[in-house]
Amino acid sequence: MTVLPTAKRLDRRSFLVGAGGIAIGLPFLEGLQERSAWAEGDAPTFGLFICTANGVVQAQNGEPERFWPAKVGPLTSENLAAVADERCTGLLADYADRLLIVRGVQYPGPGTGCSHAQGLVQCLTGLAPGGPTSNYATSTGPSIDTLISDAVNPTGVGPLTLYSGMKSGYINEKLSFSAAGRVRAAEGNPYNVYQRLVGLIPTEDELALTLARKRKSVNDFVRAELAELRQRSDLSQADRERLELHFDSIREVEVTMTDMARACTDGRLDMETMEALRSGLAFRQDGQIEVVAKLQMELVALAFACNATRVATLQIGDGTDSTHYTIDGQRVERFHWISHRVESDGSTGAVIPQALEWHAAIDRIRIETFRHLLDRWSLYSTGSGPLLDHAFAMWTNQLATGPSHSFYNLPIIIAGRGGGALRQGQYIDAGGATNDRVLNALLRAAGGDPATGGIGDGDVLDAMLAS
């Protein structure tokens, strides 16, 4: 077993190498000898892109408005809370001053064939799709996470690409593209993401196996190293508080995943429990989609706080997302059928009478999950404000609405200041702009140059940017 030498400094990637060669990701600690990522004047901007499925309930084709705020203009906690009972964006009222909601955006390519696939392909590329018009549609260029990564990540560090939900095999990952037609495989198992972040990769190493079998927390495993770090004279009280938050977050993720695994392995707490999330017996179960999405969001927060990458994507649901949600204690019909309002994956079938209300309820569940991310980002302190000030998260959908599969008036919510680059507390109308202009604006907020490394000709939706 290797012995950890006395730590003299933390490198820029903020990793503490523990006993047995296990690396534990730590938040940057302000005040140490080497400038951290959060040093004054050098704070990076982080970006997360979330895409959900099946559209939202909004005022199109005779259906009532259940999504957008009541009036374009300033967002306040008061005017959002006033519509919270009927419009799901009102559930974000507490974060009104950290929101930028953008309506009037559409995809550049029309919906032909399988709109689900074509919408998903355009969601982060801002380009008309290529290939067949069916579920095999693919991208004609890289997605925005690739462009941001190329602009701001160190060489060799790519986007963190995540997934939540079942996979039907019809349309799986189609969100993140490294180049035209080259989709990135997304990691759907939060435990695998967690292992990579903390450096605990199962091998034949006796120490690692012992840790897994005993289900011990990584926090316990590095207690000695943590105690030594706490004793450093150049560690401020704020540093200590951020250190504690990081380890508390790791334990919370472990506990949640263990609870999920227990349900899938009949309560056993041995090695099978630890393996449950890896084997597909828990994280891909029907109905776990929002639980897994929250875990993935927490892990993104951890990755950003550790400066492991500057950009991430999260696809929630496969192309047609047939999750069975539970609403008011009732397990309802598969979501894709609900979005069509009929018992079918197509346009004809027996009408589902409660479909509109069920879809609106699912929208609210998904916005509550997004709020979980904002709560988490508000907790991570960077030394110059919460992570929410130094990051942005874009929540959107592959479609605008369910029944029509429209590509017009895509739901777009952007949370976080993006280091001060983005307008805040505003609900704006883009007037029919294509989504490449939204993505280029976020590229600029992240520190890239849309004119030289953006989508298309680099056009930016200027109304999104702070003056």
Q: Please report the pLDDT score of residue 298 as a whole number.
A: 87
- Residue-wise pLDDT for 328-342, tens only, equals 999 999 999 999 999
Give the right CATH number for 47-188+287-464 from 3.40.1350, 1.10.10, 3.40.720, 3.30.70.
Answer: 3.40.720
| 302 pLDDT tier (thresholds 50, 70, 90) | confident
- Residue-wise pLDDT for 55-87, tens only, equals 999 998 899 999 999 999 999 999 999 999 999
CA distances from 278 to 267, 273, 291 (A): 16, 10, 15
Q: Which of 97-101, 233-237, 425-429, 447-451 has the lowest mean pLDDT?
A: 233-237
Q: Which of 96-100, 155-159, 240-244 has the lowest mean pLDDT?
A: 240-244
Q: Please report the pLDDT score of residue 114 as a whole number.
A: 82
Q: State the pTM of this model.
A: 0.84
Domain spans in the chain, listed from the N-terminal domain onward: 47-188+287-464
